[in-house]
Every structure is written in structure tokens, then in C-alpha cells.
Amino acid sequence: MSRNRYPSNWKQIATAVKNSSDWRCSRCDRPCLRPDEKPVGLSLSQRRVYNLQVHHYNFDPEDNRPENLAPLCSSCHLYYHRFRRGNISPGQLSLF
């Protein structure tokens, strides 16, 4: 992922998208953790399942129109990117 393709106010944009969904995944409706929530008894890998991310439908991180953005839990976000490289740089996933 090339961070320089995201606007300088990406954190504010992403937070607004997450707030508009009440911190729920728009695909599976899973409630996700808010930044100030620190659940007791969850491991790091369990907390990652409840991490809300913002997906660009057209896979272009420079296109931040509201209709192009969707709040997705980490599992659903991976589902959307499974068969498409999206904004991953060439060679980023290379094993060698």
C-alpha cells in the first residue's frame, strides 16, 4: 500500500465514514471496536477481527467520494481484496 496516494486528512475521512455506520461493518453488520475501547480478555488477533477499516470500491485511494467508501471489518475487507490486488504495489506480496 502506498500511503502517499492517500490525502493528508485520510484519518479524519476514515473516522467520519466509520462514525456514519456507527462502527458496524456495512457487509456483515459486525459491531467493531472504537478507538477508545479496550476489551478485556481479547488477544491481539481477536481484536483485529473487530477492526473497522475503510474500503474504496474502485480500489483507488485517491478517490474519496462518500459513495466510493465503505466501512468494512477486517474480514470483509480482505474478502473484497482477495482476487484483486487493488492498491497494493507490484512486488509487495512477493515471497522472494
The reported pLDDT for the residue numbered 71 is: 97
pLDDT 10s digits, 39-57: 888 888 888 889 999 999 9
Query: Binning pLDDT at 50, 70 and 90, where does residue 80 land?
Result: confident
Number of domains in the chain: 1
Q: Are 48 and 1 in contact (CB under 8 A)?
A: no
Q: Per the domain annotation, does 48 fall within a domain?
A: yes
Residue 14, domain member (yes or no): yes
| Contact predicate 72/27, CB 8 Å | yes
**Domain annotation covers residue 59:** yes
Among residues 30, 44, 41, 27, which one has the least CA distance to residue 79?
Answer: 27
Distance of CA 69 to the CA centre of its chain: 10
Q: Is residue 31 part of a domain?
A: yes
Which residue range(s) make up the domain with 14? 3-81
pLDDT over 90, % of the chain: 59
Q: pTM of the predicted model, to two decimals?
A: 0.79
